[in-house]
Homo-oligomer: A and B are copies of this chain.
Amino acid sequence: MQHFSYDHLYRFTYDMLKKIGCPDEDAQLGAKVLLSADLRGVDSHGVARLSGYVRLWEKGRINPTPKVSVTYETPSTAVVDGDAGLGLVVAPFAMKVAMEKAKNVGTGWVSVKNSNHYGIAGYHAMLALEEDMIGISMTNASPLVAPTFSKERLLGTNPISVAIPAKEEPAFVLDMATTTAANGKLEMLQRKGQDTPSGWVQDKAGTPTTSANGVKDGGALLPLGGDREHGSHKGYGLGAVVDILSAVLSGANYGPWAPPFVAFLDPLPNLVGEGIGHFFGAMRVDAFRPAEEFKGHMDQWIRRFRSAEPTPGHEKVLIPGDPERELEIIRKLEGIPLLDPVVQDLSELGKKFGVNF
């Protein structure tokens, strides 16, 4: 484990995105979005993925100079075509379309097709906060998750983020996969040679397992809830809604057709749409009640929950977004820790492209 400054990793990511042909502005934005994951502690979605994006570009599956455009719209909705660009760049474009519509008619809702992995959901939802809007962000992803009673992997970890502004308190920021656990946590357990808790994974035969290698060996991640008795049909239902709003509504690939992020797996034949899909929403708070009034009540909501009496062995009740915000402060000061295999991967990537890591 080594620590690297934000600036160091930003510079490297920016340089790499320039190397694969991104325009200057896109390389800046892409680096910023990708590294927001490292700052907020979602290590699996940050710079550790950079070489994954580059490999997709090598395969011709990422277009470094996309013409991102609105292809269909009404006063409160739009469909955005990402032109196979980096999701890191396509997503903020689409979120801004949603926010522009919210300025005009109260809310804006944008479904995106022909995109790629967009980093962490929370980054895009949080863009709305600056304008006193509620931001919503979701995306479909590589099929790694088995619906309740399914042996097959048909859904991605399909995250949902909702960001809600407050007044003096920091914003409420939910950012969650619709599975029991994210794939990144599984990879950490694999490295340590440890088992998973129950309800995270099923094996190739569709039987529950605690092997951290279960997914790698042909099994699947499980929807939030883990099994039917603990409500996995709800996690499955939520992941399905994310898939449908992101991809069926826009014309992207849905369910098992969502193209895999790993470049060594080819997309399925007979695709049902273009690229992967995202869905964004922006709601102006003052389209419902005066913003100051709303934000004052959000402060009260947050304070009441944070001051609730904790259960034995726990210090306090957390507000969604608390852990990520606290980590961001620490990592800006102390740097971002990268595991040795990630450091090695980035060094090799730099060497290959003549960029100094």
Contacts and interface: CB of A to CB of B under 8 A. Distances in A.
A289 B106 contact: no
Contacts of A218: none
Nearest to A232: B224
A105 to B, nearest CB: 4
Contacts of A285: 249
Interface string A237-256: 11011011100111100111
Nearest to A74: B106
A110 to B, nearest CB: 9
Given A180-B231, A294-B249, A150 B311 contact: yes
A172 B224 contact: no
Interface in A53-79: 72, 74-77, 79
A202 B288 CA distance: 36
Contacts of A172: 240, 244
A150 B309 contact: yes
A297 B272 contact: yes
Interface stretch (A38-46, A314-322, A332-340): A314-322
Contact of A77 (B77, B107, B310): B107
A288 B234 contact: no
B106 A244 contact: no
A41 to B, nearest CB: 14
A177 B234 CA distance: 8
A294 B235 CA distance: 24
A168 interface: no
A151 B309 contact: yes
Given A197-B230, A224-B235, 19 more contacts: A75-B105, A76-B106, A76-B287, A149-B310, A149-B315, A150-B310, A151-B308, A151-B311, A154-B305, A174-B240, A176-B231, A206-B310, A207-B312, A224-B224, A236-B320, A240-B320, A244-B301, A255-B301, A256-B304
28 contacts: A72-B288, A74-B287, A75-B104, A76-B107, A77-B283, A77-B287, A77-B288, A79-B288, A147-B308, A149-B316, A149-B317, A149-B318, A151-B310, A151-B311, A154-B304, A162-B241, A172-B240, A174-B241, A176-B231, A178-B234, A181-B231, A226-B230, A230-B230, A236-B320, A248-B297, A249-B288, A249-B289, A250-B289
Interface of A: 72, 74-77, 79, 104-107, 109, 111, 134, 146-152, 154, 160, 162, 164, 172, 174, 176-181, 197-199, 202, 205-207, 224-226, 229-231, 233-238, 240-241, 243-245, 248-251, 254-256, 272-273, 283-285, 287-289, 294, 297-298, 300-301, 304-305, 308-312, 314-318, 320
